[in-house]
Amino acid sequence: MIRSTPQDDNSAFLPGAKSLARKLTRFMPLTDDDLRMLDTLPISEERFPADTDIIGEGMQPRSVFLLQEGMAVRYRCLADGRRQIMTFLLPGDLCNPHMFLLKTMDHSIGTLTPVRIAALSRERLVGVFATHPRVSAALWWTSLQEQAMLHEHIVSLGRRDAKERIAFLLCELLWRYDAMGLAEDGMYSLPLTQTELGDAVGLTPVHVNRVLRDFRTQGLILMKHRMLKVLDVEGLQEVASFSKDYLHFDGASAEVLNYLNRLEA
């Protein structure tokens, strides 16, 4: 059965900091103490409707927050209206561990769907870095992962053609959702208009449409009710020469794990 977003079944509803915990454990196992600490971070919950700015360019960065439910994007607009989406924010994504150091936001964060976020205590977050090296390492890992995604995005826009770009994005989202347990059998929520997709991959909505049609007629994907089903994962990955190595779901190096374990003892 297919549902439209926001999902109101509990598969996407992760109270406390569970979505963050889920994400961090993709990098390394966390102790019960680590998990308890994570659960003390959220201090309030906020909801935003779809197509709203959570925070806009030029504003002063407010609290660090965690996306719990829904989909959001980092984006920037040029003076003449051209728009570019830099990042997709999915449940479990932190935003932004140390942004508060800056005077003003250099980009906006906006919702694509209704969204639920948890504001995190800045003090306790700083405390985590001091007292929980394992969580701290996992948080750093998330920022490395984000950096790697930005790198790949640059490669896509700079050197990949339209089909490769779109296939690549769809693959990235598939594996990110999968890592959070939010993709089932190649299917996940994709609540984007073709204009928004174009704003992410640097193409016009018209061209996005044509590429998606080709993918559909080739039996690679199926789109319905703002859900995407990847029918042929291998095939789609091949179009984009996609390899999920850059997402670093393979965990921390043994050396780092040993080091952190020694600190524990």
Partner DNA sequence: CGCCACGTTGAATTCAGTCAAAGAGCGTGG
Partner DNA sequence: CCACGCTCTTTGACTGAATTCAACGTGGCG
Footprint of DNA on this chain (CB under 7 A)?
161-163, 193-195, 202-207, 209-210, 212-213, 225
Residue 10 neighbours by CB distance under 10 Å = 8
Q: How far is the CB of 1 from DNA (least distance, A)?
A: 15
245 counts as binding a second copy under rule CB under 8 A:
yes
Q: Which does 233 bind (CB under 5 to 8 A by kind): DNA, a second copy, none?
A: none
Q: Which is nearer to a second copy, 47 or 98 (CB)?
A: 98
Burial of 261 (C-beta count, 10 Å sphere; 0-12/13-18/19+): exposed
141 counts as binding a second copy under rule CB under 8 A:
yes
Place of tokens 């919950």: 45
How far is Cα 110 from Cα 55, in angstroms, rounded to an integer? 7
The DSSP 8-state label assigned to residue 99 in this structure reads G
Q: How far is the CB of 193 from DNA (least distance, A)?
A: 4
Tokens at residue 148, please? 């790697």
HSE of 119 in the Cβ direction (CA atoms, 13 Å)? 15
Place of tokens 């561990």: 97
Instruction: Identify which of 138, 121, 104 has the alpha carbon closest to the alpha carbon of residue 66.
Output: 121
217 counts as binding a second copy under rule CB under 8 A:
no
Q: Which is nearer to a second copy, 108 or 189 (CB)?
A: 108
Q: Which spans of this chain sit near a second copy (rule: CB under 8 A)?
A: 60, 74, 76, 78-79, 82-84, 86, 98-104, 106-107, 129-130, 137, 140-141, 143-144, 146-148, 150-155, 157-160, 199-202, 241, 245-246, 248, 250-253, 256
